[in-house]
Chains A and B, each alone.
Chain A
């Protein structure tokens, strides 16, 4: 059984002319960390809203094709049922926080599923610890920094014990420190908890270290899907679809051009350092000896 299965999905928002998603087919395995990359308007948010049935149940339009989450067709079950399987985190944490304390915020979901009180307590503590917000139980969510708010929003999604977490540009409004904290939480979710994660991003830089797969989208269409190295290696292609390429892939691509080769294809600063020491800087020294 797949975590997510989109089969030839098209969706058009009510009163809009264009297909927000156009003939998209995508399968996500359990435990996979998939990053959806595309510019504003490429269809990534629409795809996120499909995963827990907010489309078509809460947001109306014309939906074709089928969307299954852990084997269940989201169109055929209520959002409340999908919500137990899929947790969603949006761009701006303010849009989803509303309680007086962090603890109430994180407890809200399971309370509404009538989870027993003791179990709720356990879940709240577990979720707050996982996102690095242990001890903030009694703080008002609105007194927190942007990065902390977003981590509380993730904890609130996790307390439902979802099997899959979907995040739509979660670092959108965060400063560099907030981003760092957020991405280390995402890394833990994958590496320590084996969570299935779908992450929508405009920028490849931060997610590439822990994504199993990247999916490129443009104008509602899925252009390419594959391992980071395959999908991200050509910076010109990414720029063409309005996505900022990882900066070191631009170094690789320019080195290839200038040295008349195609051997460079690093993705991270560490890989780049290794390759450059071996292939660019070292031969000179040996030549001189």
Chain B
């Protein structure tokens, strides 16, 4: 495995798509020719309104959907030639609704299920399970039934069950939906730690506050196409692009844009940054 360099995106391509197209039965063209490279250590947000193709893209990246045409390469191998189980060792996918993937009678069994079925020896299964339980802070809940837990906890169990397979890439579909501010913060902090430890994170989301606070790179989808691929600062400096994808920029970004003609930069992303810029303008800097 590639050693992690804290906070620095690596250039090694884990996933590459070339002219990726996907058409659902019935003729809906969900992806219309995407060229995209995900590098080791990336923290990418894929954003877009409902129907923009972001969930289809996520499922193509982990081989749940095979391209109608074009290719998706995972560590240099086309997904069309790999088994889903082989891809799962590299690319893990946590569903939007955690209940779609929870079925065991205890949190620990749930987390064990993946690595056990990938055929790891018991010793290694145990290690992976412990690491995943720790990463998602589930120690207190390990003996409980997953479906008896609160939504925020169930989401953490579903993510832990993916982490336990020790994939290089974690794809999370709308991980903060239904969580309150505290639960959301706890989850995002866990993901930040995993990224610092070298995991590549791909967030599918329409929560632009989460994007502004956490992602380093943002891919904006609309109508099955990528309309922007840039560092996150670039996304928030272009409100027209967000509008095209039916996304609402966070209030602090909207405020910064309204104050742009008074010298506030276009690419402010956080409350801290805005206040810093305001005081700088005031001071005559």
A interface residues (Cβ-Cβ under 8 A, vs B): 39-41, 145-146, 172-173, 175-180, 202-203, 205, 239, 242-244, 246-248, 250-251, 254-255, 258-259, 269, 272-273, 276-277, 280-281, 283-284, 288
Contact = CB atoms under 8 A, between A and B. Distances in A.
Interface string B38-53: 0000000000011100
A41 B181 CA distance: 12
Contacts of B51: 145
A255 B275 contact: yes
Interface of B: 49-51, 150-152, 177-184, 206, 209, 246-248, 250-252, 254-255, 258-259, 262-263, 271-272, 274-275, 278-279, 281-284
A243 B180 CA distance: 7
A53 B255 CA distance: 43
B284 A284 contact: yes
Given A177-B50, A177-B246, A272-B255, 4 more contacts: A145-B51, A180-B248, A243-B180, A258-B279
B251 A176 contact: no
B280 to A, nearest CB: 10
Contact of A177 (B49, B250, B255, B262): B49
B271 A176 contact: no
A102 B183 CA distance: 36
Nearest to A285: B262
- Closest 8 CB pairs between A and B? A39-B180, A242-B182, A244-B181, A247-B251, A175-B50, A250-B271, A176-B248, A254-B275
Most buried by A among B179, B263, B278: B278
Given A172-B178, A251-B271, A283 B282 contact: yes
Nearest to B152: A40
Contacts of B254: 269
A254 B272 contact: yes
B220 to A, nearest CB: 13
B18 to A, nearest CB: 29
A16 B30 CA distance: 46
A39 B259 contact: no
Nearest to B274: A251
A178 B278 contact: no
Provide the main secondary structure of the chain A interface. helix
B282 A280 contact: yes
Contacts of A178: 50
Contacts of A177: 49-50, 246
Contacts of B281: 280-281, 284
A276 B254 CA distance: 14
A205 B251 contact: yes
Contacts of B283: 284
B255 A281 contact: no
Contacts of B152: 40
B259 A276 contact: yes
A247 B180 contact: no
A288 B282 CA distance: 11
Given A269-B254, A276-B259, A175 B181 contact: no
B284 A248 contact: no
Nearest to B278: A280
Contacts of A243: 180-181
18 contacts: A40-B183, A173-B177, A175-B50, A175-B206, A177-B50, A177-B246, A239-B181, A243-B180, A243-B181, A244-B181, A248-B251, A251-B255, A273-B259, A277-B259, A280-B278, A281-B262, A283-B282, A288-B284
B62 to A, nearest CB: 22
Nearest to B207: A176
B50 A145 contact: yes
B205 to A, nearest CB: 10
A175 B207 CA distance: 9
Contact of A242 (B181, B246, B282, B284): B181
A145 to B, nearest CB: 6
A206 to B, nearest CB: 10
Given A175-B206, A284-B281, A284-B282, A246 B251 contact: yes
